[in-house]
Structure 1
Amino acid sequence: MRLVMLAGIGAAALSLGACNDEGKMATGAPVAGAPSATANLMTATGAAVGRATATEVAGGVRFTVDAMGMPPGTHGAHVHMVGRCDAPDFASAGSHWNPTAMKHGTMNPQGPHQGDLPNLVIGNDGRGTIAATIPGATMAALMDADGAAMVVHAQADDLKTDPSGNSGGRIACGVFTAG
């Protein structure tokens, strides 16, 4: 099961998850001194449009995206498997981070990729935020030899179509660096 929390302009908070009956720390609980990484999101022209963070938490990795100066609307947001963001199309970031070899999307019965995040809703002011905890993910897997990147797409992710949810071109990208 995935623990997902959404926050955004016009979006209500949503939480899906379960507590551990054995009294252990629930998935997603903060862990003191846990490893983390940040990614500064840029457009193909080099404009700064936000920041993503990844932090190891109990039982997984919590991803947050804080966007600014982005086009209003709903955009797919995914962790990609290579830590490169070469303009103009950011194809250098590779495909979605998928260490468990699943199909794309939380609505796909054979999914999701660990890099599949909720859609990023950007308001008329160009701002939006998402946060999601991916159970079973680790910072060690994320920050492997070729790193990882956060990518924001031009269109909404339909949350089911492999490989990228029909979310369109890549409009922003940032490489995760340990911090």
Structure 2
Amino acid sequence: MISRIALLGSAIALGACASVAQATPQEADAPAAAPPATTEDAAPAMPMDMPGHEGMMDHQGMMPEMPGPDEGVFPSMAHGTADMIGLEGQSIGSANLLDGPNGLMIRVELAPGSLTPGWHGIHLHATGDCSDVGMYKMSGGHVGKMEGGHGLLNPKGPENGDLPNIWAAADGSAGYEAFTTLDTLGALVDEDGSAIIIHEGEDDHMTQPIGGAGARVACGVIK
């Protein structure tokens, strides 16, 4: 091995001398190019899937779009959807509902311009009807409506349709995920269905009958 390295070094030195002899003064003064990095010099490649993070990154190093429940992520669990519409009946986003072993997971995604920035009350309503566009009174009252029982903070409550508020960003978009043990998808998709309603203001989780959340500004029939 030592003999090979010595011979290689001699060959490189002889070649360099020959090149210098034929070079112009300008070429002789030019700095020598850095030798190419060997495999030993190269930084070790970072594995695409680190332990505990399998599948989190794609092969371009980008975070893949998270699939919804209806794309086979939880094939053994029942799931539902709702197309959300705004005050003028325009499509503003969607909701996915996933029936887990101990409750219901609800995810809502709304496009920019869907809501005014800030907190908004969001509830499950007892009738799957959004036909009275802009009013959405046809969706009825909350699921499990009780006299004086509205509110997650109410000692007499909550009603089955009560949920934490949804937050809208400065551009009016919203991403929301909440879990409730008060409902199941089977109970919501009954003979007259159910709906997701979003209100113009914040629900204080105490004031009757809807936490002071105001008018209904978005609706989606759960299917």
Matched, 1:41 2:87: no
Of 102, 105, 112, the match for 2:158: 112
Q: What does 1:121-140 align with in structure 2 at a 5 Å threshold?
A: 121-140=167-186
Contact 2:124 2:162 in 1 (8 A): yes
After superposition, give the CA deviation of every residue in 1:26-51 in whole Å (9 maximum; x if it has no partner).
xxxx9642111111111131221121
Contact 1:31 1:56 in 2 (8 A): no
Greater percentage in strand: 1
Larger RCO: Structure 1 or Structure 2 (Cα < 8 Å, ≥ 6 residues apart)? 1
TM-aligned CA deviation for residue 99 of structure 1: 7.0
Equivalent-residue separation in structure 1 for 2:78 and 2:139 (angstroms) = 22
Contact 1:41 1:51 in 2 (8 A): yes
TM-score normalized by structure 2? 0.62
Q: Secondary structure at the match of 1:92?
A: helix
After superposition, give the CA deviation of every residue in 1:67-88 in whole Å (9 maximum; x if it has no partner).
2222212110111110001213
Contact 1:101 1:113 in 2 (8 A): no
Greater percentage in helix: 2
The RMSD of aligned alpha carbons is 1.9
Contact 1:31 1:58 in 2 (8 A): no
Q: Residue in 2 aligned with 1:13?
A: none
Structure 1 portions without partners, runs of 5+: 1-29
Equivalent-residue separation in structure 2 for 1:44 and 1:67 (angstroms) = 14
Aligned residues: 148
Q: Residue in 1 aligned with 2:149?
A: 103
Q: Residue in 2 aligned with 1:72?
A: 117
Give 4+ residue runs of structure 1 displaced > 3 Å after superposition: 99-102
Q: What does 1:73-92 align with in structure 2 at a 5 Å threshold?
A: 73-85=118-130, 86-92=132-138
Q: Residue in 2 aligned with 1:59?
A: 102
| Structure number, greater radius of gyration | 2
Structure 2 portions without partners, runs of 5+: 1-72
- Identity value in percent: 35
